[in-house]
């Protein structure tokens, strides 16, 4: 027993000298910052509502055509059916040089065609006066036909090169090249118009009609190019500009509909409406817009049918809410 006590004593002393190990730091930590359920409830007197011009409407059902939004690029349409559109990646210096050569070839063949026509007219006159041979007239006719064929080929080659480089920025009609995933091409209604909107722009878009163009695709991205013609009489669109293209799809989407004026967006892109929950109370409610057209927004989620939402004065309520919070 004496020897056993002597062995246990050093172990106890060693254990007392060790410091307690600290618990390891967890790899992740979540902290509650805000909760959408804790939004402010605004209470406005009837006089304040009248001063802000508050107007409400009842949320009801609605439907909208299915749309698919893709990216597009403004390009210059060719001057002939077999031409290739001019886009931002086109080497304009090379195109300009080729156009100059083609213009010269057109001028040369036009001169040859005029000379061939003069020779044919002279040969026909000699035959009528019985002063020339029929063979010479036939040879002149063949030379004139060859000159006309050369002129037609030169003009077609010039048309394939598109409009002059100097006039690219003044085209009244431009094309939009929309890149669509190959899996979605079959669902696009090719006979219907698309809607074009500048990226980051506000207001109404502009319609674009479908046009036929040489087939093109991107095998790396797996996209197919669809082309639409858009009126650019106001010169608002620029060649190479990126735009958002809303393509019509088959079928319609059902949901709740509210006026577009009821939607307010925060700095993070979140979409909200102000719901009237009482006689003088308003609460901001998050929603998700599925589509928006003709002043109406179709909601994917966020409200129930029959709810009262503010349609006029949403910006004023938004400012009042955050002004009161501070």
Contact in structure between 162 and 83 (CB atoms under 8 Å) = yes
* pLDDT for residue 326 is more than 80: no
Tens-digit pLDDT profile for residues 56-99 = 999 988 877 777 888 899 999 988 877 888 887 788 888 889 99
Largest Cα–Cα distance in the chain?
A: 154
Q: What percent of the chain has pLDDT over 70?
A: 86
What is the reported pLDDT for 100?
93
Buried b (16+ CB within 10 A) or exposed e, 49-66: beebebebbebeebebbb
- Output the average pLDDT for the chain: 83
What is the reported pLDDT for 28?
45
What is the reported pLDDT for 323?
72
Q: What percent of the chain has pLDDT over 90?
A: 32
What is the reported pLDDT for 31?
47
Q: Quote the radius of gyration of the chain (alpha carbons, Å).
A: 37
- CA-to-CA separations, 120 to 110, 126, 149, in angstroms, rounded: 15, 10, 15
62 compared with 194, residue with greater pLDDT = 194
Tens-digit pLDDT profile for residues 198-224 = 887 655 688 999 998 888 888 888 999
Rounded average pLDDT over 107-119? 96
Tens-digit pLDDT profile for residues 122-158 = 999 999 988 889 999 999 999 999 999 999 999 999 9
Tens-digit pLDDT profile for residues 33-50 = 445 545 778 888 888 888
**DSSP string across 273-290:** EEEE-SSSEEEEEEEEEE
What is the reported pLDDT for 32?
46
């Amino acid at each position: 027993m004496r020897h056993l006590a002597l062995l246990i004593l050093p172990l106890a002393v060693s254990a007392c000298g060790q410091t307690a190990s600290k618990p390891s730091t967890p790899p992740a930590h979540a902290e509650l910052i805000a909760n959408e359920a804790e939004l402010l409830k605004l209470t406005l007197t009837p006089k304040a509502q009248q001063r802000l011009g508050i107007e409400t409407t009842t949320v009801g059902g609605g439907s909208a055509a299915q749309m698919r939004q893709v990216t597009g690029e403004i390009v210059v349409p060719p001057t002939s059916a077999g031409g290739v559109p001019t886009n931002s990646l086109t080497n304009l210096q090379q195109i300009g040089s080729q156009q100059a050569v083609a213009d010269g070839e057109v001028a040369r063949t036009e001169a040859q065609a005029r000379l061939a026509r003069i020779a044919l007219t002279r040969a026909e006159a000699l035959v009528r006066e019985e002063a020339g041979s029929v063979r010479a007239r036939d040879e002149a006719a063949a030379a004139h036909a060859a000159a006309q064929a050369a002129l037609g080929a030169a003009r077609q080659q010039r048309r394939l090169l598109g409009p002059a480089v100097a006039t690219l920025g003044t085209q009244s009609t431009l094309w939009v090249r929309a890149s669509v995933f190959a899996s979605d091409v079959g669902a696009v209604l090719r006979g219907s118009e698309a809607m074009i909107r500048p990226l980051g722009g506000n207001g109404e878009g502009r319609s674009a009609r479908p046009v036929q163009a040489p087939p093109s695709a991107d095998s790396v991205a797996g996209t197919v190019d669809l082309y639409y013609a858009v009126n650019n009489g106001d010169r608002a669109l620029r060649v190479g500009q990126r735009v958002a293209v809303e393509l019509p799809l088959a079928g319609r989407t059902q949901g709740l509909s509210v006026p577009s004026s009821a939607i307010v967006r925060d700095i993070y892109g979140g979409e909200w409406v102000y719901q009237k929950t009482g006689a003088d109370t308003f609460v901001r409610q998050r929603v998700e817009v599925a589509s928006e057209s003709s002043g109406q927004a179709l909601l994917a989620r966020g409200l129930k049918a029959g709810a009262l939402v503010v349609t006029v004065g949403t910006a004023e309520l938004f400012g009042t809410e955050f002004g009161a919070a501070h």
